[in-house]
Amino acid sequence: MGRNYRLVVFDWDGTLLDSAGAIVACIQAAAADLGLPPPDDRTARQVIGLGLHDALSQALPGVPSDEYQTVAERYRHHYLSQDHELALFAGAYDLVEELYAAGYLLGVATGKSRLGLNRALEASGLKRFFHATRCADECSSKPAPDMLLEIMDELGTAPKHTLMIGDTTHDLRMAKNAGVGALAVGYGAHPREALEAEQPLGLFDEFPELTAWLRLHG
């Protein structure tokens, strides 16, 4: 691995964990439970990466704000019933382990709740590799820069030495707002053309491509 960056921050859902499809299905199921028109797949995918309240307000714009808590509870019910079946993308564990062994500082910036991320880190076996993490119930939701700014402050790393990796335009805009370089992965929630429009440093469809880029430019 090269040493252009000291800190690499990953998004979680759709970037390390193959969960975008499950999240879409759970948003749709939560809406159906309450007799609401479920959003189509594209709309539901578009909100992945946001905090749950922001995601629901965009996916179900006609729902009164005082009902979001009920929708959120139904979403969590569906998600928690199946999250133990979700797996990391092929190559994700090896990449994180390799970066850690090479001496990088590693972080996670995610739209998940703290409880949800802790559960996912334990289940995936990746918890021991990450030096700092931030969640949507601790910071302003993406694309605000707060998660990245707090992680950099905690680990003493400057924006020019920090790299964000994510699968949504929310991730890429957060990185831009924080003055941080970003890589996009095209196998997650947002379509490739939307990611390309944000002009990331690189856009990869498979983990081996991402790993190769980091070995050369990281």
* 8 Å CB contact between 6 and 13: no
* 165: enclosing H helix or E strand: strand 162-166
Which candidate in 13, 54, 167, 171 is catalytic?
A: 13
Rounded-to-10 torsion of CA 62, 67, 69, 73: -90
What does the DSSP 8-state code read for residue 209?
A: H
> How far apart, in whole angstroms, are the C-alpha atoms of residue 105 and residue 156?
10
According to the model, what pLDDT value does residue 54 have? 85
Q: What are the φ/ψ torsions at residue 200 (nearest 5 degrees)?
A: -70, 165
* C-alpha 53: how far from chain center: 16
137: annotated active-site residue: no
Contacts of 48 (CB under 8 A, 6+ apart): 13, 14, 20, 23, 24, 55, 111, 168, 188, 189, 190
According to the model, what pLDDT value does residue 218 have? 80
Which candidate in 11, 54, 83, 171 is catalytic?
A: 11
Q: Which amino acid is at 146?
A: D
Q: Which residues of the chain have pLDDT under 50?
A: none
pTM recorded for the entire structure: 0.93
13: annotated active-site residue: yes
According to the model, what pLDDT value does residue 204 have? 97
According to the model, what pLDDT value does residue 2 have? 55
CB atoms near residue 48 (< 10 Å): 23
Contacts of 208 (CB under 8 A, 6+ apart): 91
Domains in the chain (CATH in brackets) are: 7-19+87-217 (3.40.50.1000), 20-84 (1.10.150.240)
pLDDT tens column, 141-165 = 999 999 999 999 999 999 999 999 9
